[in-house]
Amino acid sequence: MKLSNFLKACMLGSALALATLSPAQAETLRVMTGSASNPLSVPMNRAVVVESDQPFAELSIANPGIADITTLSDRTIYILGKVPGRTTMTILGGDGKLITNVEVQVTPDIGEFKERLSQILPGESIEVRTANDGIVLSGTVSSSAKLDRALDLANRYAPGRVSNLMSVGGTQQVMLKVRFAEMQRSVAKNLSASLAIKGTGFGDNVGIIGGTGNFTQSGAVSGAFPETGNGTIPIDSSTEGALGLGFSAGSLEFAVLMEALESKGAVRTLAEPNLTALSGQKADFLAGGEYPIPVVDDNGGVKIEYKPFGVAMAFTPRVVDGDLINLEIAAEVSGVDTSVSMSSGGFAVNAFKTRRTSTTVEMRDGESFAIAGLLQDDFYDLSGQVPWLGDIPVLGALFRSAEYSRQQSELVIIVTPHLVTPTRGEALALPTDRVRPPSEAEFFLFGKTEKGPKSGAAAEVAKQDFSGSYGYVME
Kindly state whether residues 195 and 157 are assigned to the same domain.
no
pLDDT of residue 235: 55
pLDDT of residue 473: 39
Residue where a domain stops, chosen among 78, 107, 136: 107
Q: Are 259 and 191 in contact (CB under 8 A)?
A: yes
pLDDT of residue 316: 93
Kindly state whether residues 390 and 257 are assigned to the same domain.
no
Q: Is the residue at 383 inside a domain?
A: yes
- Phi, psi (rounded to 5 degrees) for 430: -100, 155
Kindly state whether residues 343 and 403 are assigned to the same domain.
yes
**CATH number for position 129:** 3.30.1340.30
Residue where a domain stops, chosen among 107, 125, 143: 107
pLDDT of residue 200: 57
Q: Is the residue at 451 inside a domain?
A: yes
pLDDT of residue 418: 92
Q: Is the residue at 273 inside a domain?
A: yes
Kindly state whether residues 356 and 305 are assigned to the same domain.
yes
Q: Is the residue at 20 inside a domain?
A: no
pTM of this prediction?
0.56
Kindly state whether residues 275 and 402 are assigned to the same domain.
yes
Task: List the beta bridge partners of residue 179.
Answer: 414
Kindly state whether residues 395 and 291 are assigned to the same domain.
yes
pLDDT of residue 220: 31
Kindly state whether residues 399 and 278 are assigned to the same domain.
yes
Q: Are 261 and 241 in contact (CB under 8 A)?
A: yes
pLDDT of residue 15: 37
Residue where a domain stops, chosen among 389, 404, 422: 422
pLDDT of residue 84: 82
Kindly state whether residues 368 and 442 are assigned to the same domain.
no
Q: Is the residue at 186 inside a domain?
A: no
As for how many domains the chain has, the answer is 5
Q: Are 252 and 198 in contact (CB under 8 A)?
A: yes
For the chain, give the secondary structure using H, E and C: CCHHHHHHHHHHHHHHHHHHCCCCCEEEEEECCCCCCCCEEEEECCEEEEEECCCCCEEEECCCCCEEEEECCCCEEEEEECCCEEEEEEEECCCCCEEEEEEEEEECCHHHHHHHHHHHCCCCEEEEEEECCEEEEEEEECCHHHHHHHHHHHHHHCCCCEEEEEEECCCCEEEEEEEEEEEEEEEEEEEEEEEEEEEHHHCCCCEEEEECCCECCCCCCCCCCCCCCCCCCCECCCCCCEEEEEEEECCEEEEEEEEEEEEEEEEEEEECCEEEEECCCCEEEEEEEEEEEEEECCCCCEEEEEEEEEEEEEEEEEEEECCEEEEEEEEEEEEEEEEEEEEECCEEEEEEEEEEEEEEEEEECCCCEEEEEEEEEEEEEEEEECCCHHHCCCHHHHHEEEEEEEEEEEEEEEEEEEEECCCCHHHCCCHHHHCECCCHHHHHCCCCCCECCCCCHHHHHHHCCCCCCCCCCCC
Q: Are 309 and 351 in contact (CB under 8 A)?
A: no
The burial class, CB within 10 Å (0-12 / 13-18 / 19+), for 177 is: middle
Q: Is the residue at 450 inside a domain?
A: yes
The average confidence (pLDDT) of the chain is 76
Residue ranges for the chain with pLDDT beneath 70: 1-38, 170, 199-241, 345, 426-427, 429-431, 433-434, 450-475
Q: Give the structural domain span for 366.
A: 267-422
Contacts of 315 (CB under 8 A, 6+ apart): 176, 275, 277, 282, 283, 284, 327, 328, 329, 330
Angle between helices 110-120 and 144-157 (to 10 degrees): 150
